[in-house]
Structure 1
Amino acid sequence: MSEVPDMKQAFLASRIFDGTTRDYRTNTALLIEGLQIVALVPQSQVPSEYQAVDLGSLSILPGLIDCHVHLVWNGSHDPNALLQRESNEKTAVRALLHAFQELMHGVTTVRDVGGLYHVTLAVRDATREQLFIGPRILAAGMPIQMTGGHARNLGLEVDGPHEARKGVRTMLRAGVDLIKLMATGGVYTEGEEPGSPQLTVEEMRAAVEEAHKAG
């Protein structure tokens, strides 16, 4: 993917929300140099070297952050069934599409809290290396869960504190950004009671201790 030229642009919109107050700004321009936001200034004070981009009645706001996604899942009532039918390669393509769709809806950062094998890690790396267009992705890889636990088709199954610790080490070696523990039951798993305890306190303590050692 070619690099973005170091252009100076002034984006003009009817409203700009910068998040510093509850109010939005009007008659304001967003100044950008290349990929860097440099200032918000009144539209009447845009420097002459900036190319104006008039967005008309559109609004500008900061990129959104989605803290809980599963890029490998679709929006069906049983996303695990699809994962069991299709190949990992097709799942990766689907996850790339979902990442792109997130960005097109204004989400610039997502936290993926459970994916099939290392598919989401590959998607994360592909977007970081600009092989595909997508948001910033923080990926947990495979969640740590008890044998037969919640979302069992996604996770790394462990039983006992020793295996929980080893499971975290396995995910850290794979290069995850965070660790996801399936502490309780939830939806999407047949015959499971949402909120019912699954991982023990001892298992979670061992996992958390190991994760904290990594920073």
Structure 2
Amino acid sequence: MGCLLGIAIFPLFLRAKMKEGVFEQEIIQTLRPVILKHSKWAMKQKPVTVTAYKAVRSAGGIHDFYSEGDYWWPDPKDPAAPYIQRDGMTNPANFVEHRKAMIRFSRIVGALASAYRLNPDKKYVQQALRHLKAWFVDAETMMNPNLLYAQAIQGRFTGRGIGIIDTIHLMEVAQGVKIFEDDPNFPQAAKDAIDRWFATYLRWLTTHQYGIDERSEER
């Protein structure tokens, strides 16, 4: 969606009149068909969270997000030994289901939020809430608010700080929540529960060694 926005907005920017609102309206009209297409798809989707996929190599539980380092493979000399690195070669047997589920989640919320901006229909809020509650609120399906087991390497690390990048897709989810949160069909209780999830995740991100190391690495 980001690429589509960039492609559509740039030529409009060059042609935009200086009158207030004209630029925005041109963007809306250009993107409307794409937004409606994506929202139609999103309205049909059922919630799918990390609990839908069991990660047998994970050191965590069913509610823990899990992913594996891309370039790490079983040792052909000893399948029971720690994985070995093959730089630039992605292991197709890696567990990627949690990543895919989170990407799908962000696409759904982003599509619904975009459609809501065009037409603030409660159906978009209600559908988004189904997915938001599944990921952040409902005890049976929610994801634990940490990344202790992301970017694991079998036999070496149960998780790594670099795995924090796997939740980059939650940025679109958080932006979607901001769009929906003032709608009367977005219950305060749900809003508070989602806020608590993100607050807990942020606290983990800024206090756990993984987050501290990654912040230091950026410097």
TM (normalized to structure 1)? 0.25
Structure number, greater radius of gyration: 1
Query: Higher relative contact order by CA 8 Å / sep ≥ 6: 1 or 2?
Result: 2
Structure with more helix by fraction: 2
